[in-house]
Chains A and B, each alone.
Chain A
Amino acid sequence: MSIPILKFDAVIVGAGGAGLRSAIQLSEAGLKTAVLSKVFPTRSHTVAAQGGVAASLGNSEEDHWHWHMYDTVKGSDWLGDQDAIEFMCKKANEVVVELEHYGMPFDRTDNGKIYQRPFGGHMSNFGEKPVRRSCAAADRTGHAMLHAMYQRNVKANTQFFVEWMALDLIRDSEGHVLGVTAMEMETGQIVIFHARATIFATGGAGRIYYSSTNAFINTGDGLGMAARAGIPLEDMEFWQFHPTGVAGAGVLITEGVRGEGGILRNSSKERFMERYAPNAKDLASRDVVSRAMATEIKEGRGCGVNKDYVLLDVTHLDPATIMKRLPGIREIGIQFAGVDCIKEPLPVVPTCHYQMGGIPTHYSGRVVMPQGGDMSAVVPGFYAGGECACASVHGANRLGTNSLLDLLVFGKSAGDSAVEDLKGGRAHRDLPKDAGDLALERISAIDNRKGGASVAETRLAMQRTMQDHAGVFRFGDMLKQGVTKILEVEKAARQMEIKDKSKVWNTARIEALETENLIEVAKATMISAEARKESRGAHVRDDAPDTAEFPNGRNDAEWLKHTLYFPQDNKIMYKPVNMQPLTVEAIELKTRSY
Chain B
Amino acid sequence: MLREDFEKLRWRCVRRGLLEVDISLTRFLDEQFEGLTDEEQLAFVELADMEDYDVWHLISGQAECTDPRISSIVAMLRKS
Contacts and interface: CB of A to CB of B under 8 A. Distances in A.
Given A48-B18, A48-B19, A216-B19, A185 B11 contact: yes
B30 to A, nearest CB: 12
Interface string A537-560: 000000000000000000000000
B60 A215 contact: no
A45 interface: yes
Mostly helix, strand, loop or mixed at chain A's interface? Answer: loop
Nearest to A218: B19
B39 interface: no
A216 B4 contact: no
A126 interface: no
B69 interface: no
Nearest to A336: B23
Contacts, number: 86
A316 to B, nearest CB: 24
Interface stretch (A36-44, A109-117, A269-277, A341-349): A36-44
B47 interface: no
B53 A143 contact: yes
B60 to A, nearest CB: 4
A300 interface: no
A47 B17 contact: yes
Contact of B19 (A38, A185, A215): A215
Given A328-B60, A331-B60, A502 B19 contact: no
Contact of A507 (B11, B22, B23, B61): B11
A68 B16 CA distance: 33
Nearest to B80: A335
A510 B12 CA distance: 13
A359 interface: no
Contact of B7 (A39, A213, A505): A505
A333 to B, nearest CB: 11
Contacts of B4: 504-505
A198 interface: no
Q: How large is the interface on A (under 10, 10 to 19, 20 to 34, 35 or more residues)?
A: 35 or more
A335 B15 contact: no
A332 B15 CA distance: 19
Mostly helix, strand, loop or mixed at chain B's interface? Answer: helix
Interface string A485-510: 00000000000000000101111001
B73 interface: no
A502 B7 CA distance: 11
B68 to A, nearest CB: 21
Interface residues of B, number: 26
A360 B7 CA distance: 36
Interface in B28-73: 51-53, 59-62
Contacts of A176: none
Interface centre among A327, A505, A506 (most CB of B within 10 A): A505
A45 B15 CA distance: 9
Contacts of A215: 15-19, 22
Contacts of B23: 249, 251, 335-336
Contacts of A502: 3
Interface string A224-261: 00000000000000000000000001110000000000
Contacts of B22: 215-217
A225 B23 CA distance: 27
Given A143-B53, A331-B60, A335-B59, A44 B17 contact: yes
Contacts of A48: 17-19
B15 A327 contact: no
Contacts of A250: 19
Nearest to B52: A47
A507 B10 contact: yes
Interface centre among A212, A215, A507 (most CB of B within 10 A): A215
A61 interface: no
A214 B53 CA distance: 15
Interface string A1-42: 000000000000000000000000000000000000011001
A294 B19 CA distance: 23
Contacts of A335: 20, 23-24, 59-60, 78
5 contacts: A142-B17, A163-B11, A250-B19, A505-B4, A505-B7
Given A185-B11, A215-B15, 15 more contacts: A43-B16, A43-B52, A44-B17, A47-B18, A48-B18, A143-B51, A143-B53, A213-B19, A215-B17, A217-B16, A335-B24, A504-B4, A505-B4, A505-B8, A507-B10
Task: List 9 tightest A-B contacts by C-beta distance, closest first.
Answer: A47-B17, A505-B7, A331-B60, A217-B15, A216-B22, A43-B17, A215-B19, A505-B4, A39-B15
